[in-house]
């Protein structure tokens, strides 16, 4: 593809950056092959991107002609930094996101129940970190529904937040981004996991104090016209239930598949200041096996519905269940294969998230910032 106007040139620069972001490092010949751009166009555009500080040469590899080694290109990791927040129901984690989508953890704090107080704390952290680093974006992972365009939290049921305008409360001088935590987890997996390279349909289920679902359809995160797609935690799994969810519905999947259900079912005193700490304690108890087995089946019930509706190739589980071991995931997989449509599970894979030392949604918040930076390229 040749460019013959400033607009097409900008689109081609964005395309090259996206390709490097998803597949780095790459040689110029790799980029030409993937994008269909001519080698001369790739050479000119990558020179511009190097001069503008987006990418850099990092060395050589192999040979693409006799006596000539390929020069590899990668994103300039520290070119653009973002401040990223993972808003948890009890604990919020924050860190610095780099231009390659990696994250460096910086700290945690108790999540204030009042959104005004929360964003006051977030602004203070931004002001402090800005004295050390040039922050170009602030990106939030939210346990609820988010209007990406208006930067508004539509509803975060477990926090009791509704119609919260982030920009109005945060009052900062850099662009602000936000998305649902499961969407961001799906985004993180999409950019960092090898087994998603050729997958078009996938589901990410994050299990914490609530249950969120990120959907990838046709290779893209699917949010829906009202930004409420993927709220599978609030699908009804028991229409006769007398338990009301935070969302105001009765019998939601979240009521039986969040960590709060397992803690309640265990029924004994557990050490911990909040649900996450108590669930960590529960996982260490020798007499918790039966509760965890039922917990796995409850999670599997929702997955059966998602598999029958969406026909994904991959279902990824994240949050507080990732370290529960092979037996826990075997219960889920066996249940799903027994209950879901046979054709739908033929090529289905179910696995825990690839992110263990850092939350997938925090990484996703960093990737969201990277995508926004690339979109602003001129």
- Per residue in 146-200, pLDDT (tens digit) is 999 999 999 998 899 999 999 999 999 999 999 999 999 999 999 889 899 889 9
Provide the pairing of β-strand 55-65 with 81-87: unpaired
Tell me the HSE value of 60 on the side-chain side, using a 13 A CA sphere: 7
What distance in Å separates the CA atoms of residue 13 and residue 20, rounded to the nearest whole number? 11
Over 60: is that where the pLDDT of 65 sits? no
Nearest in space to 97 (alpha carbons), one of 25, 166, 13, 177: 177
Over 50: is that where the pLDDT of 69 sits? yes
Return mean pLDDT, the chain: 93
Over 60: is that where the pLDDT of 367 sits? yes
Over 50: is that where the pLDDT of 52 sits? yes
Over 50: is that where the pLDDT of 223 sits? yes
Over 80: is that where the pLDDT of 268 sits? yes
What distance in Å separates the CA atoms of residue 116 and residue 137, rounded to the nearest whole number? 20
Over residues 276-324, the pLDDT tens digits come to 999 999 999 999 999 999 999 999 999 999 999 999 999 999 999 999 9
- For residue 3, the model assigns a pLDDT of 43
- For residue 227, the model assigns a pLDDT of 93
Over 90: is that where the pLDDT of 23 sits? no
C-alpha 340, offset from chain centre: 26
Nearest in space to 140 (alpha carbons), one of 191, 101, 107, 177: 177
**% pLDDT > 70, the chain:** 97
- For residue 321, the model assigns a pLDDT of 95
Average pLDDT over residues 17-43: 90
**b/e 271-305 (16+ beta carbons within 10 angstroms → b):** eeeebbebbebbbeeeebeebbeebbbbbbbbbbb
Average pLDDT over residues 330-343: 97
- For residue 7, the model assigns a pLDDT of 86
Output phi, psi for 182, to 5 deg.
-75, -35
Over 70: is that where the pLDDT of 18 sits? yes
**HEC assignment per residue over 265-285:** HHCCCCCCCCHHHHHHHHHCC
CB atoms within 10 A of CB 33: 13
- For residue 265, the model assigns a pLDDT of 96
What distance in Å separates the CA atoms of residue 114 and residue 191, rounded to the nearest whole number? 33
* pLDDT interval class at 2 (50, 70, 90): very low
**Interhelix angle for 259-266 vs 289-310, to 10°?**
150
Q: pTM for the complete prediction?
A: 0.90
Average pLDDT over residues 225-237: 93
Average pLDDT over residues 240-244: 93
User: For residues 147 and 227, is the Cβ–Cβ distance under 8 A?
Assistant: yes
């Amino acid at each position: 593809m040749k460019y013959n106007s400033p607009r097409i040139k900008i689109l081609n620069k964005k395309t090259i950056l996206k390709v490097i972001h998803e597949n780095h490092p790459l040689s110029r010949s790799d980029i030409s092959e993937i994008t269909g751009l001519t080698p001369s166009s790739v050479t000119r555009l990558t020179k511009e991107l190097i001069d503008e500080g987006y990418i850099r040469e990092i060395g050589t590899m192999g040979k693409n002609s006799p006596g000539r080694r390929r020069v590899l290109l990668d994103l300039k990791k520290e070119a653009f930094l973002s401040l990223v927040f993972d808003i948890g129901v009890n604990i919020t984690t924050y860190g610095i996101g780099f231009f390659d989508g990696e994250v460096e953890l910086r700290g945690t704090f108790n999540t204030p129940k009042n959104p005004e107080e929360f964003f006051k704390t977030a602004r203070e952290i931004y002001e402090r970190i800005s004295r050390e680093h040039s922050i170009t974006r602030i990106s939030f992972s939210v346990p609820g529904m988010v209007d990406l365009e208006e930067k508004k939290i539509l509803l975060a049921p477990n926090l009791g937040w509704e119609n919260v305008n982030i920009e109005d409360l945060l009052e900062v001088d850099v662009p602000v981004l936000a998305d649902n935590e499961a969407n961001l987890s799906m985004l993180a997996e999409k950019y960092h996991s090898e087994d998603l390279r050729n997958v078009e349909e996938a589901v990410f289920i994050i299990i914490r104090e609530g249950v969120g679902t990120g959907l990838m359809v046709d290779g893209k995160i699917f949010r829906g016209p009202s930004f409420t797609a993927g709220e599978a935690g609030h699908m009804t799994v028991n229409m006769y239930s007398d338990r009301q969810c935070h969302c105001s519905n009765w019998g939601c999947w979240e009521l039986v598949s969040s960590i709060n259900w397992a803690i309640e079912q265990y029924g004994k005193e557990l050490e911990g200041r909040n649900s996450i700490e108590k669930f960590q304690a529960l996982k260490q108890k020798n007499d918790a096996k039966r509760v965890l087995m039922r917990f796995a089946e409850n999670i599997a019930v929702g997955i059966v519905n998602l598999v029958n509706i969406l026909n994904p190739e991959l279902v990824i589980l994240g949050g507080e269940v990732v370290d529960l071991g092979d037996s826990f995931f075997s219960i889920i997989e066996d249940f799903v294969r027994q209950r879901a449509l046979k054709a739908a599970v033929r090529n289905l894979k179910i696995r825990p998230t690839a992110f263990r030392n850092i939350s997938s949604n925090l990484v996703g918040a960093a990737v969201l910032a990277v995508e926004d930076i690339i979109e602003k390229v001129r």
